Amino acid sequence: MKSNLSILTILILVRLKSYLRLAGVVASRIAVFRLGLFLFEAARFRLERNELLKRPRRAAIRLPEVGEQTLDVAPVMIVAAEMSAHSRGVDEIWYEIATTPDSRTIEALPDLFALVCLSSMAKFLSITLREGPRPHFESFESLENLFERSTAGVSRSSCAARLLSDPPPHSTLGKPFYQSEIALNDYLKRAANGRTVVLVAVLEVNFDSCWKQILHDMNDLFEKEADSLFMILDRPSIPPGNGLPMKAAVQTLGVLGFSGLERLALARNVDFLVTDRAPYVLSALSSSTTILVPQIIEARDAATGVAQMVEFRRRHVGVVAT
Amino acid sequence: MSDSLFGFVDYRNFPYALGDTITLLMNMEVLRQLEGKQDIVQLILTYPGSPSSRLQPFINRNNFRNFLIELFPAFLFSPNTSSLSFTESRPFFHYRLVQSTLRRDAVWPGIFAQARGSMDFISHRRINKFFLKNGHLPRLDAPERLRIRAREHLSTLFAGKSLVTVNLRNSKSSYFFSAPHREANIPEWEKFFRLSARSHPDVMFLIVGSFSEWSRSLLEFPNVAISRRLGLGLADELSLLLQSRLFMGSSSGFSALATFSTVPYLIINFEPGAAKYVGLGVGERRYPFAEKNQVILWGQEQASELYREFCEAVE
C-alpha cells in the first residue's frame, strides 16, 4: 500500500513537471509571438510613415495655451479641426498641448483631456509639461497642420458663431461614455418627473449681474410655467443658488459633484440647453437637445434674453443664437 | 542615446487604479535617478480592442475612457515628467518601443519584459532598495499652478481651519464593488468625527474620493466637508492632500500619494496580503522610508484607536 502511494506520488510529480515544462514552453512561445508582433507593427508603422505603404492620412493640431476662456475655445477648435479634416480626407488627428507647471493650462488639462478623449478622430495626444526642447514621440512638423494661421485670434464668440451658422455634419465629441449617460438619464428621469428640463451653463467669468438677472427672471418664469425644471450648473466659486430666492424646481447642480464629462453628458440629455459655453453646445449638437445661446454678453440686456428664450421655447426651433 | 527615461505604459498590462498609478510614477522617478536621466517621457497606450487587463474585466471598449479621464490628473504629479502622450494606436506604441530600444535609450519596462508580460509596476521593491542605498527618495508633488490653487482653496474654503484630508474606501456604493475587507468602517469614523469635533474644533476633515463613495451620513457633521460637493476634482484633492496637516484613510489610492510625500499620515486597515509587495512585515508601523509622523495601522479601525492616533499626530 505504502509503495503504491510512493509510486503514485512520483507519477504525479513527473506529470506535474511535464505540465510545468509545457506551460513554460507555451509562455515563452507567447512571448516570442508578442515580440514578433511588436517588430511587425513597428516595421509597418515605419513603412507607412515613409509612405512606402498606404497609410491613414494624419493631421496635427496644437491646442492653445489656456487663458480665461480657452476651455471654451479648445473644443471649438477640436470640432473645427474635425470638420476641416473631413473635407480634406484626413483620417486621424494628432493633438498636442504645450504648457508649463505654472500655467493655468495645467488647471484645465483634465477637462481638455476629456474633450480630446471624446473627439471621434483623435488618435494621439501629446502634452508637453516643460519649456525648452520638446522630447516628442512624434514630429508634429511631419503632419499636416490643420490650422495654418495662428490660433491667437480665435475667439469664443467667433467660433460659436461659426458653429451655429454651420453646424458640423457628423457627430463630433461623440465617442461613447455609456456608463455616465445611463446613470445620468436615470437621475434626470427621477428629477424631472415628467417636466421639461432646461439646463443652464454659464461661464464663470461672465457670471455677472446680467446673468443673475436672467436667472432671477427665469425663476419668475418658472412660477408661471410649472411644467419646467431649471437645472443650473454652478462652478465651485459660485455658491449654490447665487443668493437668489430659488424655487423648488430650480436645482443647482454644483453641489451634486458631477464631473466635467458628466456635465457634458447632461447637456445632451436634457430638453433645452441655455448656455454661453461652447463645450456644452458641442456636446449637445450630436443630440436632440434644443440649444439656446443668448448673446447677452454683448447686449447686456437680461430682459431681452429671457423674452427671447420664452419665444424660443414656444417655437421649438433647432439651434439658435438670440 | 537620449537624456530622458522613456516609460511605456500599456493598459493591457496595467490596472486603472489611483494607487497603482502613483506607485508607477514613483518607480519611474526612482529609475530616472538610477539611470542619471534628466526627465521622464511617458507614452501610454489604451488600445480600444483590448483596453484593460484580465484583472479588470468590467473595463471594456465602451467605458475605458471614463476610467482614464478620472485617473488622468494623477499623471501630473510626477515632477520630472516633461512629456506625457496618450495613444490608441498600437502600431505607433510598438514603433516607439522598438525605436527607443534600438537607440539604446533608457526604456522602462523594456521590450522583453513587455513581451513576457512580466512587469513590476506596482511593488516597492525598487523603491525600498533605492532608499536603503541612498538614504532618500525622490518625492511626488503637484505642479506649481495646482499648488497655488490648493493654497487659494485653503484660504477661502477652509479659512481659519486646520485641514485633515480623509479618504474612506466605500466601494460598495460605487459601480464596482471589490475587496470588501478593505472597506472603511463608517460608523467608527462617525464616532471619531464626533469626538474630534469636541476636542479639536479648529480641525476640518475633508473627505476626498469619488462622488459615489462618500457616505451621506457624514453630511450631519459640521467638522466634515466633502470635496466633490465643493466641485473639487482629483487634481485639487491630491494637491490639497499634499498641503494638509495630516492625511488619514484607508489603504487605497490616496494613501499611496501620502506614502511618497512628506505629509504626516495615518494609513488605516493595511492589507496583510499586500505587505510582501511593499517590503513590510505584518504589524510594522512604518515603511522603511517613512518619516516619524507617518504611521500605518493594521486591522479594522476603531474610533478610540483613530482618536488616540489622531491626537498624537496633531499635537
* Distance separating alpha carbons of residues B25 and A169, to the nearest angstrom: 41
pLDDT (mean) for A23-43? 86
* Residue of A101, A122, A235 with shortest CB distance to B231: A235
pLDDT band at B309 (very low <50, low <70, confident <90, very high): very high
Contacts of A138 in chain B (CB under 8 A): 92
pLDDT (mean) for A32-57? 84
* Distance separating alpha carbons of residues A261 and A112, to the nearest angstrom: 10
| Pairwise pLDDT comparison (A165 vs B242), residue with the higher score | B242
pLDDT (mean) for A213-233? 65
* Residue of B41, B87, B231 with shortest CB distance to A254: B231
Residues A199 and A299 reside in one and the same domain: yes
Range of the domain at A105: 58-165
Structural contact between residues A120 and A170, judged by C-beta atoms closer than 8 angstroms: yes
Residues A199 and A161 reside in one and the same domain: no
Contact flag B95-A179 (C-beta cutoff 8 Å): no
Contact flag A129-B87 (C-beta cutoff 8 Å): no
Residues A280 and A198 reside in one and the same domain: yes
Contacts of B88 in chain A (CB under 8 A): 122-124
Residues A226 and A256 reside in one and the same domain: yes
pLDDT band at A294 (very low <50, low <70, confident <90, very high): low
The H or E element that residue A47 is part of is helix A2-49
pLDDT for A16 equals 80
Average pLDDT score, chain B: 90
Q: What is the CATH number of the domain that holds A215?
A: 3.40.50.2000
- Vertex B243: Cα angle to B239 and B244 (nearest 5): 115
pLDDT band at A125 (very low <50, low <70, confident <90, very high): confident
Contact flag B62-A104 (C-beta cutoff 8 Å): no
> Which residue, A100, A23, A89, A27, is CA-closest to A56?
A89
The H or E element that residue A231 is part of is strand A228-233
pLDDT band at B158 (very low <50, low <70, confident <90, very high): very high
B115 touches chain A (CB under 8 A): yes
pTM (two decimals): 0.79
Percent of chain A with pLDDT over 70: 46
Task: Choose one of A165, A200, A215: the last residue of a domain.
Answer: A165
Chain A residue with Cα closest to B92: A45
Residues A274 and A161 reside in one and the same domain: no
Contacts of B43 in chain A (CB under 8 A): 137
pLDDT band at B233 (very low <50, low <70, confident <90, very high): confident
Angle of helix B234-243 relative to helix A105-118, nearest 10 degrees, comes to 150
pLDDT tens digit sequence for B68-126: 988 999 999 999 999 999 999 899 999 999 999 999 999 999 999 889 887 887 789 99
Domain-located, residue A262: yes
Contacts of A101 in chain B (CB under 8 A): 143-145
Chain A residue with Cα closest to B63: A177
* Residue of B96, B144, B231 with shortest CB distance to A102: B144
pLDDT for B163 equals 96
Percent of chain B with pLDDT over 90: 66
Structural contact between residues B217 and B188, judged by C-beta atoms closer than 8 angstroms: no
Residues A160 and A109 reside in one and the same domain: yes
Contact flag B144-A117 (C-beta cutoff 8 Å): no
pLDDT tens digit sequence for A98-118: 888 988 888 888 878 887 887
Residues A191 and A156 reside in one and the same domain: no
- List C-alpha distances in Å: A205 to A74, A77, A237, A285, B301: 17, 20, 11, 24, 45
* Residue of B83, B88, B98 with shortest CB distance to A134: B83
Chain A residue with Cα closest to B81: A129
Task: Choose one of A106, A140, A165: the last residue of a domain.
Answer: A165
pLDDT band at A310 (very low <50, low <70, confident <90, very high): very low
pLDDT for A317 equals 32
* Residue of A31, A123, A125 with shortest CB distance to B115: A31
* Distance separating alpha carbons of residues B273 and B23, to the nearest angstrom: 17
Chain B residue with Cα closest to A38: B94
| Pairwise pLDDT comparison (B190 vs A91), residue with the higher score | B190
pLDDT for A39 equals 93
Residues A88 and A161 reside in one and the same domain: yes
Residues A221 and A108 reside in one and the same domain: no
pLDDT for A309 equals 47
Task: Choose one of A144, A165, A186: the last residue of a domain.
Answer: A165
Indicate the range of A269-283, B216-230, B295-309 predicted with least confidence: A269-283
Contacts of A48 in chain B (CB under 8 A): 91
pLDDT for A318 equals 33
pLDDT band at A260 (very low <50, low <70, confident <90, very high): low
Contact flag A110-B96 (C-beta cutoff 8 Å): no
Residues A150 and A66 reside in one and the same domain: yes
pLDDT for A36 equals 92
Contact flag A41-B90 (C-beta cutoff 8 Å): yes
Classified as helix, coil or strand, A70 is helix
Residues A137 and A201 reside in one and the same domain: no
| Pairwise pLDDT comparison (B309 vs B231), residue with the higher score | B309
Question: To the nearest 10°, the Cα dihedral for A83, A88, A90, A94?
Answer: -60
Domain-located, residue A27: no
Residues A112 and A199 reside in one and the same domain: no
B80 touches chain A (CB under 8 A): no
Indicate the range of B195-204, B226-235, B257-266 predicted with least confidence: B226-235
pLDDT for B22 equals 95
Contact flag A257-B211 (C-beta cutoff 8 Å): yes
pLDDT tens digit sequence for B269-278: 998 888 888 8
Contacts of A180 in chain B (CB under 8 A): 66
> Which residue, A86, A84, A95, is CA-closest to A138?
A95
pLDDT tens digit sequence for A60-72: 877 766 654 455 5
**How many Cβ atoms from other residues are within 10 Å of residue A225's Cβ?**
12
Domain-located, residue A5: no
CATH assignment of B144-314, given 3.90.1180.10, 3.60.15.10, 3.40.50.2000, 3.90.550.10?
A: 3.40.50.2000
pLDDT band at B311 (very low <50, low <70, confident <90, very high): very high
| Pairwise pLDDT comparison (B80 vs A283), residue with the higher score | B80
Percent of chain B with pLDDT over 70: 98
Say which residue the cell 474633450 belongs to: A115
Domain boundaries defined on chain B = 4-134, 144-314
Contact flag B62-A178 (C-beta cutoff 8 Å): yes
pLDDT for B136 equals 92
Q: What is the total count of domains within chain A? A: 2
> Which residue, A81, A118, A119, A112, is CA-closest to A98?
A112
| Pairwise pLDDT comparison (B225 vs A57), residue with the higher score | B225
| Pairwise pLDDT comparison (A230 vs A209), residue with the higher score | A230
Size of the A and B interface in Cβ pairs below 8 Å = 159
Considering A39-48, A100-109, B184-193, the range whose residues carry the highest mean pLDDT is: B184-193
pLDDT tens digit sequence for B25-82: 999 999 999 999 999 999 999 998 999 988 888 888 877 888 898 899 999 999 999 9
| Pairwise pLDDT comparison (A114 vs B130), residue with the higher score | B130
Domain-located, residue A41: no
